[in-house]
Amino acid sequence: MVDVRHVSPKGGDALLMVGTMKGAFLFRSDASRRTWQRGGPYFPGNAVYALAYDGRAGRRRLWAAPENFHFGVVMRSSDDFGKTWSDGETANVRFPEDTGASLKRVWQIAPARAEEPDVLYAGVEPAALFESRDGGKKWSLVRGLWDHPHRPQWQPGGGGMCLHTVLLDPTRRERMHVAVSTAGVYRTDDGGRSWRTAHKGVRAQFLPNKYPEFGQCVHKIARHPSRPDRIYLQNHWGLYRTDDAGDSWTDVANGVPSDFGFGMAVHPHDPDTAYIVPLESDEFRCTPEGRLRVYRTRDAGKSWQPMTRGLPQKDALETVLRDALATDGFEKAGVYFGTRSGKLFASRDGGTSWTRLADGLPPIVCVKTAAVSKARGKAK
Amino acid sequence: MKLTFRIPGPLLSFTGGRHVVEAEAAATEAAVFTVEAALDQLWRLYPGLRDRVLTEQGQVRPHVNVFVGADSIRDTGGLSTPVGDHAEIAIIPAVSGGR
């Protein structure tokens, strides 16, 4: 029987949520982020591709989408940091009958803005967006995207036909971006009723037409909260930045050993700073030269520098997947990533130096961060 | 009509720990009593099982097998497979997976 440990975070603590192919884990520290306690595994044996923390409206709620290989996916929540979880009986994210589709995986859970505390979004496979307006009790398909004329022609990437990233514009309530592999970036400016592509200038290396209307294999997009029109993009070959919310993209693969990779994150306070972990190629999806290097730009992609202090630089053939690189919101930024080989690394100085927090976890598929809310009101 | 269901270990939390569930189905006007109708009896007793065994479109999940006696319903007509009195229906996770 698996021995499940628990953590008891307090207000102001740092929380890491780590999803793996065989369960989820929590790591907590005080705001110094020097020492960490580990909780889990939660949902042992289940793949957990999506985790989120909802600290809005007095909540301290974890969301997880445990996926049983045989028996499907149910969205679960916990108001006591994983000690107990909501009912797992009823499949709460369901495709309507007329779609003929069946939920395969939840890739992303995105609580919406603070001023709409009962709204959440979920990106799923087959590629679709779901929305909840009652704090996660009921979920409905966002028809505007499902009915988009491109959608029947989207093709699955190696990870499946997934809508893997949801970015909400913090200043424009009606604007949202989603990223789909393999389709590209789509943007709504009317709260999800209509969508248009937002990946002009992003190259599709693997297609005869290198700049198709859609079909780009976008691995990750990351938006800066204080400058929401700036988004960085890690493509299936290619690194890009937009400063106009996706109307145009600039190639920023300057000084990287490879522009292939999955994970991407932005610094919480500096929109010119972003992080990636380049991989050698789509044929050999491992860190180049057996060196585990996080590349950081501090000039919006004009140049990238390798961050190696504390990271293995010999025989380290590692893979960091699309949702396994994250930053926190603390004043001195924390940066975190997990590998397919089950190693979890943390930096509390903006990526300059690194510490290994865990080794021997199952393959890590997502890493999410939160600062635990201080006040606890009546959650609903 | 008496039915016996065998429930796999990962789903026991939905049946209060019961590996074996006995159910009695009333005779219907339909000419053939099917696996689908039999499973409806099981869902009635333990509703949480339904979404674990079937997709939201009502299909048996791809990595779940349902047997009537020794026969997988994939080979005998799926959910439309006829079921007789005293049938034993087993829900068994496929051996696929192992990630």
pLDDT in tens, A155-208: 998 889 999 999 999 999 999 999 999 999 999 999 999 999 999 999 998 899
Residues of A in contact with B55 (CB under 8 A): 72, 102-103
| Contact (CB<8Å) B56/A89 | no
Given this model, what pLDDT does residue A183 score? 96
> Distances from the Cα of A8 to the Cαs of A15, A36, B20, in angstroms?
10, 12, 39
- The shortest CB-CB distance from B99 to any of A69, A101, A102 is to A69
Predicted local confidence at residue A362, as pLDDT: 98
For residues A323 and A317, give the distance between their C-alpha atoms in angstroms, rounded to a whole number.
Answer: 19
Q: Do A68 and B10 count as a contact with CB atoms less than 8 A apart?
A: yes
In which band, very low, low, confident or very high, does the pLDDT at A258 lie, cut at 50, 70 and 90?
very high
CB contact (8 A) between residue B55 and residue A72? yes
Of the listed ranges A3-12, A89-98, A369-378, B59-68, the least confidently predicted one is A369-378
Instruction: Name every chain A residue with its beta carbon within 8 A of the beta carbon of B11.
Output: 71
Give the B window 19-58 contacts with A, CB below 8 Å.
47-48, 51-53, 55-57
Domains, chain B: 2-93 (3.10.20.30)
User: Please, which pLDDT band fits residue A18 given cuts at 50, 70 and 90?
Assistant: very high
Which residues in chain B touch residue A103, judged by CB atoms under 8 angstroms apart?
55-56
Contact status of B63 with chain A (Cβ, < 8 Å)? yes
Nearest chain A CA: its distance from B98 CA (Å) = 9
Q: Is the pLDDT of residue A379 over 70?
A: no
- Residue-level pLDDT at B54: 97
Contacts of A75 in chain B (CB under 8 A): none
Nearest to B99 among A21, A89, A95 (CB): A21
Q: Which chain B residues contact residue A126 at CB under 8 A?
A: none
Instruction: Determine the Cα angle at A284 with ends A283 and A289, to 5°.
Output: 145
Chain A neighbors of B56, CB-CB under 8 A: 91, 94-95, 97, 102-103
Q: For B49, which residue in chain A has the nearest alpha carbon?
A: A89
Q: Is B60 on the interface with A (CB under 8 A)?
A: no
pLDDT in tens, A94-151: 999 999 999 999 999 999 999 999 999 999 999 999 999 999 999 999 999 999 999 9
Tally of CA atoms within 13 A in the half-sphere of A356 that contains its CB: 13
Nearest to B61 among A22, A71, A94 (CB): A71
Domain A14-371 sits in which CATH superfamily? Answer: YVTN repeat-like/Quinoprotein amine dehydrogenase (2.130.10.10)
pLDDT at A252 over 80: yes
Q: Determine how many CB atoms are found less than 10 A away from the CB of residue A258.
A: 18
Q: Which residues of A are less than 8 Å from B57 in CB distance?
A: 95, 97, 100-102
**Looking at residues A286-302, what average pLDDT do you find?**
98
Q: Is A63 exposed, middle or buried (0-12, 13-18, 19+ CB in 10 A)?
A: buried
CB B32 within 8 A of CB B82: yes
Work out the mean pLDDT of chain A and round it to a whole number: 96
Q: Would you say residue A41 has pLDDT above 80?
A: yes
Q: Do residue A70 and residue B14 have CB atoms under 8 angstroms apart?
A: no
Contact A74 B93 (CB under 8 A): no
**CB A126 within 8 Å of CB A161:** yes
Reading chain B (99 residues) residue by residue, the pLDDT tens digits are: 899 999 999 999 999 999 999 999 886 666 789 999 999 999 999 999 999 999 999 999 999 999 999 999 999 999 999 999 999 999 999 987 656
Using one digit for the tens of pLDDT, what is the confidence trace for A209-219? 999 999 999 99
What percentage of chain A exceeds 70 in pLDDT?
98
Could you please report the per-residue DSSP string of A290-358?
G---EEEESSTTS--EEE-BTS--SS------TBSEEE--SSS--EEEE-TTS-EEEESSTTSB-EEEE
> Is B99 in Cβ contact with A90 (below 8 Å)?
no
pLDDT tens figures, A47-85:
999 999 999 999 999 999 999 999 999 999 999 999 999
* Cβ contacts of B54 on chain A, cutoff 8 Å: none
Confidence of residue A374 (pLDDT cuts 50, 70, 90): confident
Confidence of residue A380 (pLDDT cuts 50, 70, 90): low
- What is the nearest CA distance from A65 to chain B, expressed in angstroms? 14
Say what the pLDDT of residue B99 is: 60
Q: Does pTM top 0.80 for this prediction?
A: yes
Find the closest chain B residue to A44 by CA distance.
Answer: B10
% of chain A surpassing 90 pLDDT: 94
- pLDDT given for residue A377 in this prediction: 54
Task: State the residue for tokens 């985790």.
Answer: A51
In the numeric block, the tokens 């609580």 are attached to A111
- The yes-or-no verdict on residue A375 having pLDDT over 90 is no
Measured distance CA(A201)–CA(A221) in Å, rounded = 15
Query: Closest Cα partner for A44 from B10, B83, B64?
Result: B10
| Nearby residues of A169 by Cβ (< 8 Å), 6 or more positions away | A175, A176, A177, A223, A228, A245
User: For A318-323, what is the mean pLDDT?
Assistant: 98
